[in-house]
A and B are shown apart, each in its own frame.
Chain A
Amino acid sequence: MRRRLGIFLASLFVATAFLSPATTFACTLCDTDTGRQVRAGIFGEHFWSTLAGVIAPFPIMLLAVAAIHFAIPELPKRTTTNQTNPPK
């Protein structure tokens, strides 16, 4: 019974998605005027420069983390437990 209800709800969701007015199909891959405008806007002449701009901060952050990694000196070993007292 629960499985049937799940199938029904999933079918209803899919049907609703595909029967909705075209204006709701503004997704990146939708075959609508809006979808085509979106794709043209994303994959136009500025795609690679925009991609480089959006990605740009992250390599700098990786460099910063690498700098932290190499800048932190190894902390000296400490003798912590089982220390033997020097002979008196």
Chain B
Amino acid sequence: MNDTHNSKPLVIAGTFLGIGMGGFVDGILFHQILQFHAMLSARLPKTSIPNIEINMFWDGLFHALTWTMTAIGLALLWRAVKRADVPLAGKTLVGSLFLGWGLFNLIEGVIDHHILNLHHVVERLGVSVFDYSFLASGLIFIIGGIVAIRSANSETPSVRRG
């Protein structure tokens, strides 16, 4: 019996989920719990109620987009697990989640923190070592994710069920 070894659907689903969950880590941890920054805090400092509310609006839009990425990832994961040719390797999924999280940190960091200057990781410091650490974490997560996916691909048997 021939069978294909196609981990791509799981990788794509996990990457979407990683982007979404990475966005939620940023939004929940940095925007809400630690309150290091908000979406537009470099332009509208959180020093008055209107500014806080305006930032909250744009934070909400940002969260809506990360929710959308997560929902897409969930839908793709559902499709992937129903395919007989997709090996359900935990290492592939975790690697893909880190790949997506890394993509989020790197792309969001470059665009929002450095190009558009919408906000910075620790707003009161402006562009700081924390912004560069954020980018570095993105690179590390991407590389780690790719290594995990490749490792899983070399280990995973092609037949998983049936």
Contact = CB atoms under 8 A, between A and B. Distances in A.
A42 interface: yes
B2 A42 contact: no
Contacts of B2: 77-80
A27 interface: yes
A41 B58 CA distance: 11
A26 B40 CA distance: 18
A52 to B, nearest CB: 9
Q: Which applies to chain B's interface (DSSP): helix, strand, loop or mixed?
A: helix
A38 B50 CA distance: 5
A58 B12 CA distance: 15
A64 B3 contact: no
Contact of B49 (A26, A61, A80, A81): A26
Contacts of B112: 53, 56-57
B50 A77 contact: no
A53 B51 contact: no
A65 B1 contact: no
B15 interface: yes
B141 interface: no
Contact of A28 (B57, B99, B107): B57
Contacts of A11: none
A64 B140 CA distance: 16
A1 interface: no
Interface of B: 1-8, 11-12, 15-16, 19, 39-40, 44, 49-54, 57-58, 61-62, 65, 69, 99-100, 103-104, 107-108, 111-112, 116, 118, 153, 157-159
12 contacts: A26-B53, A37-B50, A38-B57, A42-B57, A54-B58, A55-B65, A61-B69, A61-B103, A75-B6, A78-B158, A80-B1, A81-B1
Interface of A: 23, 26-28, 34, 37-38, 41-42, 50-51, 53-58, 60-61, 64-65, 68-69, 72, 74-82
